[in-house]
Structure 1
């Protein structure tokens, strides 16, 4: 594979969909700048990506902290790196009824899923706009298309990501920079464990879960094509189509039935 001498900046590259996207980018000639707060894990993954032929720059930052998000670009600039691709993959959920969930955790979810994405995208655009080229992939979710009881804050953050991605895509249409939103459904990653969702009904049938490899391939292809958005998986396309023709209250009830605890009547 001929190297492109271009960098992709990827958050969430140590596991799940982000990890699979990083592998695809490395295999397709991109060098990588990967961000994680877990120094040991990010260095292990960096060695793996290097074995695929990529140069890899490791940036150990905590994306729950605004100051550290800004510091990501300071570190890139210090290394003379101007990424031509930005993958905003890192994200988390918080499971439970809103009245009972931990407010600090939910503020952290908003900081990671929205604030860090806004900051990195703004810095990416300020760097790339004069260069006239760039590609952005934002991880939205089919959760962006329906209210989400038991995951109300997470669904709200993903609705923001989708709406905002479509808005800035329109603003950027004559700049040479594209913005693509990837909408996976439930995927076989560590997301559910981190969100505290292991007792959710959504995990009762493993066949409901997409593979991160398939989701990443859909996202990668859409990113390279400059598509506006991609819903990954036939089942998820059908679910979104159903949501589009039902009332919000009906969609919320259906989502509640899917996501509530197995013990909940």
Structure 2
């Protein structure tokens, strides 16, 4: 079975839907007729997006203003989703930090693990039983090329994305012939538009324009790949290079190189 067709009862869930890839995934799903549950911390932004999608595409769009780094809040959302008809789950929400772990806020690092790894696991476990019973569904995991290698000065993020990458591809093996599709998106730098010079972040300044990928294009590629049950989508030159480096370059060589780059990001932040 392919990804279920849109229906009045079914919902596609997008976490981190308030910006970036999550916003683009929500817009693309709505344009294809899917009703949505939009999840992020910033409820006012989600409400505006939901209203826009209802008007533009005639779909239902529900808002859940949830901080997925809060274990109790994530558990409540997982409990709700387990009892809803969820056709697609896009595990997109995530945060990153730059710099040596010893110098970073330990509470924020723990929150990063809960958001980037634990919430992905919890929400997947919530919807998976219903998908396998129906014999259809789609789970899009937003991992990262950073999860393919050790990255000093980006250690917590790289480790959590390694979990997402491995969990996604392992899950595919378990779900073979069930009708449930699992696709891993491993993007490099992604943005909606090129910022004005005065609004550039340190990442914008350090990563050349030609290496950035459009969030809209990434969302379209990802959902097309999920429909085909493709294992992994790696959009962009930088993410492809990082994937190759992580797979074939000795870690003792690649870690210091990328660690130096990410250390500069930490200094800029």
- Normalising by the residue count of structure 1, what TM-score does the alignment of the two structures yield? 0.88
* Shift in alpha-carbon separation, 1:3–1:139, aligned structure 2, 3 A: closer
* Shift in alpha-carbon separation, 1:220–1:102, aligned structure 2, 3 A: same
Deviating more after overlay: 101-110 vs 56-65: 56-65
Q: How far apart in 2 are the matches of 1:81 and 1:263?
A: 41
Q: How far apart in 2 are the matches of 1:139 and 1:238?
A: 18
1:16 lines up with 2:12 in the alignment: no
Preserved CA contact (<8 Å) 2:146 2:242? no
Which residue is 2:69 aligned to?
64
Which residue is 1:91 aligned to?
94
Which residue is 1:25 aligned to?
29
- Normalising by the residue count of structure 2, what TM-score does the alignment of the two structures yield? 0.87
Q: How far apart in 1 are the matches of 2:106 and 2:121?
A: 21
1:48 lines up with 2:52 in the alignment: yes
Report the RMSD for the aligned CA atoms in angstroms.
2.3
Q: How far apart in 2 are the matches of 1:25 and 1:200?
A: 28
Once the two structures are superposed, the pairs formed by residues 236-251 of structure 1 within 5 Å of their partners are 236-251=239-254
Structure with the bigger RCO (C-alpha within 8 Å, sep 6+) is 2
* Shift in alpha-carbon separation, 1:260–1:200, aligned structure 2, 3 A: farther
Once the two structures are superposed, the pairs formed by residues 167-178 of structure 1 within 5 Å of their partners are 167-178=170-181
Once the two structures are superposed, the pairs formed by residues 13-162 of structure 1 within 5 Å of their partners are 13-51=17-55, 52-76=57-81, 81-162=84-165
Q: How far apart in 1 are the matches of 2:127 and 2:52?
A: 26
Q: For each residue in 1:211-234, what CA deviation from the matched residue of structure 2 results, as whole angstroms up to 9, or x when unmatched? A: 211221221111111111111124
Give the Å deviation of 1:26: 0.5
Give the Å deviation of 1:60: 2.1
1:163 lines up with 2:166 in the alignment: yes
Q: For each residue in 1:61-109, what CA deviation from the matched residue of structure 2 results, as whole angstroms up to 9, or x when unmatched? A: 22111221121144446xx731110000000011111121111111000
Preserved CA contact (<8 Å) 2:88 2:139? yes
* Shift in alpha-carbon separation, 1:129–1:257, aligned structure 2, 3 A: same
Q: How far apart in 2 are the matches of 1:96 and 1:189?
A: 26
Alignment equivalent of 1:203, drawn from 203, 206, 211: 206
Q: Aligned pair count? A: 255
Q: How far apart in 2 are the matches of 1:94 and 1:105?
A: 9
Q: Secondary structure at the match of 2:101?
A: coil
Deviating more after overlay: 225-234 vs 158-167: 225-234
